[in-house]
Structure 1
Amino acid sequence: MTSSLIRGRPRRAKAHIRVRVAHAVLGVMAGVGWLVLPVMTAGARDPVPAAPAESVAGAAAQRGGGTSTADYALPLIAAVAAVSLAGYGYLRRTRRARTRTTPGTVSLAPPAPSPADSERQARAALVLADDCVRTSREELSFADVLFAEPDTEPFVHALRGAETELAAACAIWRRYEQGMPKDAVARRQALVGVVGRCAEAGRLLDAAVPALDGLRELRGPGLARALETAEGRFRELAGRTVTAGDALSALRERCTPAAAEPVTGYLEQAKDRLVFATTRLNEARQAADTGDGRRAAGQLRAAEGAVAQADVLVTGVERLAARLREAAALVPAALTGAEAEIAVARKGAVQGPLTSGELHARVAHADAVLASVRRELTAGPYDPLDALRRIARAVERLDTGHTGAPAAAALLVARGCVAGAEDFVTVHRGVVGPEARVRLAEAARELGAGRADRADSLAREARDLAERDVRAHGNPRTSADGDSPGVAAAIVGGILLAEDPDGGPPASFGGPETRGRHSLSASA
């Protein structure tokens, strides 16, 4: 069905054509009139009185020679004027048609972005929105310590809304990566949807910033309380770092080096963040003493970000040690449960559409896995989480329902793997790209849906992609280049936004418009 806008175009075009034709006809008629006027009046009696005697000869000469040049002058001028007006009108209409943007005319609109440009825009939007959500979560953890739940509820609500929008954007991008939808126009719209969802996440956080700043009052009376909270958390982390180091040493004695590999270097990074936090807390105290609330708030926010990431790193070590102990205790039960699942499979009581040959091959594989795990248990240090992962995957391939201890083993492994990938992305978010973030978001969805094996695989993939990004970025900035201690790590961790030579403003609660509102420099 033709729209009203489209149906209106021919009528307007025809109306303009009729007006232009009428103007041209009138111009031609005027010109012709001037041309035939002398002929029509040539035989008429001259109504003008007789000229003086001295002009008689000239008049006789004119009558003898026919129509004079003056008789053609006015018609010629009229014709030239008509042609000039017609040409001017044509040029004006052509220029207007090229520049007008109203319906029914041709417009010189900017070219549509290419698919590559749209993809780059969507990737950048995902990274920015994810950074904003993570930073907002960090700052809100400090506000939760000082204020009651009703006071912080609006900001929790805004953060949850932003997380929902970000999760939807990640899901759209993931389907786009997998080639869905197929249609080019639909794929372009999918990218627009990613950017729109990310923009909405940022808008929700930006809208909550004025109220949060009013609650915390970091540039006023709230600064002293916030400093005490950050310093108290700093001192707690300093003690936990020592305890976590002891736990990591014991872990390495009981398990293989591969078991501790996910947290290798974490305590060193935590100490680096704490050194950076020490410097920023001292700077915040000095700025507060001189009455420079703007600079004090910025230095405090940088210190809070460093303390929060040190907490993530230390907690990661503690959690891995605890999960390895839990996994070691669960391995015997998982072996027993796996043997029961294999016995069910041998009887043919399977739920999946496996042929007898496929079932026989998978049962043989599961037997081999269980035998390998038993040998590791008696051979010395081993990786309990890896043993549980292998047991759970061997049983999962039997399609017997995957219940009991093997299912509990798969869930334990998946939770640890998702949490480990989450920690790594958080403390390296300044350099991690969208692929790792999207895989991690999908792993969290799969874990929430109870698909532990799928969540474990996606989390491991996300961790690998994030480590690839970190290796590709390197560490071009060091303290030897004139930076204060820990600045390079703070930039990699996204604590500082890397917009200025000193590392840039600290990242704060908020979206793209407000997250860099604080400054490390003195007030002007």
Structure 2
Amino acid sequence: MEIVVILAVLLIGGAVAYVILSTRRKRREVASQQQAFAEVDALEVNAGQALVRADERIRLAADELSFITAEFGDEVISRFRAAIADARGSLTEAFRLNQLLHDEKPDTPDERRSMSQGIIQHCSDIESTLGEQADSVSTLRDTMRGLPDAVAAARADIATVREHVEPARRALASASDRYAESALRSVAPNVDQAERLLEFCERSLQIAEQKHEEHLAIPAGKALTVARESVSRAGGLLRAVTDFEMEALSAESTLAAVIEDSRGDIIVARDVADPPSDLRPAIERLRSETESVAQQTVRRDPFETLSRLREANTALDVIMDRITQRTRDAEKLKAQLPHAIDDAERQIAAATNIVDNYQAPVGPDARTRLAEARRVLDSARTDHDNATAVASARRAADLASEAARIAHSEIQQGGMYGMPGGGYGPQQGYARGGYRRGGMMGGGMGGMGGGRMLTGILGGMVVGGLLDDMGDMFD
């Protein structure tokens, strides 16, 4: 009976919990749907407002077209008309979507959202298209309105530039008496070019005024822009002529300093010990250029002369830098040589100690490397080239280290070579791991195990020198 009661309570509790959870879930779903519908409703409202603004924007643009027709030429009018036509096409599509959105056929929230967004996008395109044209017309209108004043300002600029024509011509003539023709090549035609530009500027301003009277804003604006650019270029050409003398004097001053530096560089270069093959020609080239410049007195080209002298000086500097670097490297190697020789001596001493102490099991490979290390080290001590000497000393150290490594390996393996005094005949031959049976160890030592006995003895000598007192064992 109690079990039945408990089960009933559990069932009732589960049912109540299910009802509560279901109710909460339905409430959340309803709230979510309400929120979605509210968002779609708000989007539809925005789409409707955008549609009204776009329709009004096109109407105002059409009204503006009548004013533009009176103010500007066909080019501006045709562009504005094309923009209005594009805008009306977008507006027609926006109205179509709005009609579908509000017809009697029910739409899903996603469909309503998509159509509202389409309406807003078309209206945005309309605003962008007409806005660009409105800005362009506003700019043209400002240009037309201010063109008379701009033309007057440009003519004043022409008059100002003309005042500098004759001074620039006199400066050019004066410079021709002092400098070579090649030095004046960059500025010689400037005065004539400036005068032609000023004439062209006057003609451009006349065209601008004519197009202004014809209400052709675009050609008028272009002509005014060309005139402004022309007068600016003319002024720059004349300034280049008047600035030439200052630049030439600066080049002359620099040239004097370079000549003095070049003479000092020649003296230093001539004192180089063991010069490379390309040093003497570089010195002679710089000396020749320096003397040639020093002998020039009238009508020279300071710019071209400075370039030649700089090139010769640079060529010598490159060689001297290489020599200086070589000297630094030699000094560095000279300082490294004692350390390299000391390292090689230590490596050779360590390898020699192994071979001398345990001659029997050390074979020809280690001994050959040790002998070569000694020979290479002797060569390093007598070599006059520090670079070669350092390389030889390091090679000797490497050879000695390799000899020690091989000797250690052979000793630990018990050796494969006979003891001093041992023969290599049929009864005294050897094999890896010790002497063959019947050899010196096999006959002389009987049950001591032949090669294994020798291996044990030599291994003990390497590890700890435990058999130091057994030196006479094989006498």
Q: What's the TM-score bracket when you normalise by the shorter of the two chains?
A: 0.3 to 0.5
Larger RCO, structures 1/2 (Cα 8 Å, 6+ apart): 1
Indicate the structure with greater helix content: 2
